[in-house]
Amino acid sequence: MAQAYVTETGNGGSEPEPSGSRFLRRLTGLLKDRGTWRRGVVVASVAVLIALVMIFHAELPNDIGNTGSLIETFLPWLGLAVPVLLAGALWRRSATALLAVTLTAVVWVNLFGSLVTDKSGPGGNLMVASHNVDADNPDPRGTAASVARAGADVLALTELKPSAVPVYEQALAATYPFHAVEGTVGVWSKFPLTSSQPVDIKMGWTRAMRTTVETRRGPIAVYVAHLPSVRVKLDAGFTANQRDNSAEALGQAMAREQLRVVLMGDLNGTMNDRALSPVTSQMRSTQGAAGDGFGFSWPAQFPMARIDQIMVRGIRPEASWTLPRTGSDHLPIAARLTL
């Protein structure tokens, strides 16, 4: 038997409901459901807690295990909780959780949204680069060749092992006719260097220096520093006291500087870390001002934090980026500046 198919049309027929209307109808029904405001309390609480940590991170105590500094080091990664919490809010069909997750997302975007966009420009008349070359680097010659290819006018290297210094000197000589090494840090330059000297950062040996670079647009003071390493230990927390003391000493030295300043090196901390404020409060981060993305530099195989820094004072940053990986456990970083 043949089947008859009837299509209903006209005023008495039925037509597909527009997707927008269907969404609004379901949303209205969800909001009218009293249970949607009672469900998802756990998800909402976690979202609000993360938002509060991001908003008031500077108020977190550092007295026990330097907890505040530890959280500030990896603060941007708290944003990964947003999609997870959003999925939880939708699964629980909870309006309360959805609003809390939205709050967390807004806070993250307010703090770090500008870092996601590309702020670099085409200008600049001085290019600088910095690299923690790693004392255990198995290929110092290859590392030197790699960073030299970037074309920087001034190059800062940290964690130089004394036995490897001659290798770097030889490998970089053709590109950089001027250089100065103090302890485990050094500067290589296409412009003459004067007044090179160590900077005491209260470590007992030299891991910071200052030199004057005589550029075509006048002298600038270049500081290179490798602040003490930090560790995360179960019994002691974030062991950063020695680094914090060195940051204080470095900040005091730079505060007395009369020339325009470029600071490069491994500070073993991020711009968010309040313990580095003696330095960061008087300098401008090239990555924050003119970077493309977060510019994470460590560890090289899966960068999670920007602990290598290029900062300036009295100089305009135009662009900031990371360079290709070398034999080090850090990525090199570079910046274009306008004097």
Instruction: Tell me the average pLDDT across 230-237.
Output: 57
Separation between Cα atoms, residue 96 and residue 44, nearest integer Å: 6
Task: Tell me the CATH class for 126-338.
Answer: alpha beta
- Tell me the residue ranges of DSSP E strands in the chain: 126-132, 154-158, 178-182, 185-189, 193-198, 208-215, 218-226, 231-233, 237-239, 260-266, 284-285, 308-313, 316-322, 333-338
Q: For tokens 């009369």, what's the residue?
A: 258
Q: Is the pLDDT of residue 193 over 60?
A: yes
Q: Which of 270, 269, 271 is nearest to 284 (CA)?
A: 271
Q: What angle do CA 43, 45, 47 make, to 5 degrees?
A: 70
- Residue 23 pLDDT level (bands cut at 50, 70, 90): low
Q: How confident is the model at residue 25 (pLDDT cuts 50, 70, 90)?
A: low
Contact partners, residue 10, CB within 8 Å, separation at least 6: none
Q: What is the mean pLDDT of residues 273-296?
A: 94
- Confidence at residue 71, expressed as pLDDT on a 0 to 100 scale: 87
pLDDT beyond 70 at 4: no
List the single range of 19-33, 212-226, 311-325 with lowest mean pLDDT: 19-33
Residue 13 exposure: Cα atoms within 13 Å on the Cβ side: 7
Provide the pLDDT for residue 39. Answer: 84
Q: According to the model, what pLDDT value does residue 19 have?
A: 62
- Identify the bridge partners of residue 338 per DSSP, sorted by sequence position: 316
Give every CB contact of residue 45 below 8 A, 6+ residues apart in sequence: 100
pLDDT tens readout for residues 215-226: 999 999 999 999
**Position 160 pLDDT exceeds 80:** yes
* The pLDDT of residue 16: 65
pTM greater than 0.75 (yes/no): yes
Tokens 């790699």 belong to residue: 146
Instruction: Specify the higher pLDDT residue, 10 or 229.
Output: 229
- Using only C-alpha atoms, the chain has a radius of gyration, in whole angstroms, of 27
Which of 231, 262, 271, 266 is closest to 246 using CA atoms?
Answer: 266
Check residue 1 and give its pLDDT: 46
Q: Are strands 308-313 and 284-285 parallel, antiparallel or unpaired?
A: antiparallel
Q: Say if residue 10's pLDDT is above 50.
A: no
pLDDT digits (tens, 9 = 90+) for 39-94: 889 999 999 999 999 999 988 887 766 777 788 888 999 999 999 999 999 998 88
Q: Where are the domains of the chain?
A: 19-115, 126-338
Strand order across the 284-285 sheet? 193-198, 208-215, 218-226, 260-266, 308-313, 284-285
Is residue 290 over pLDDT 70?
Answer: yes
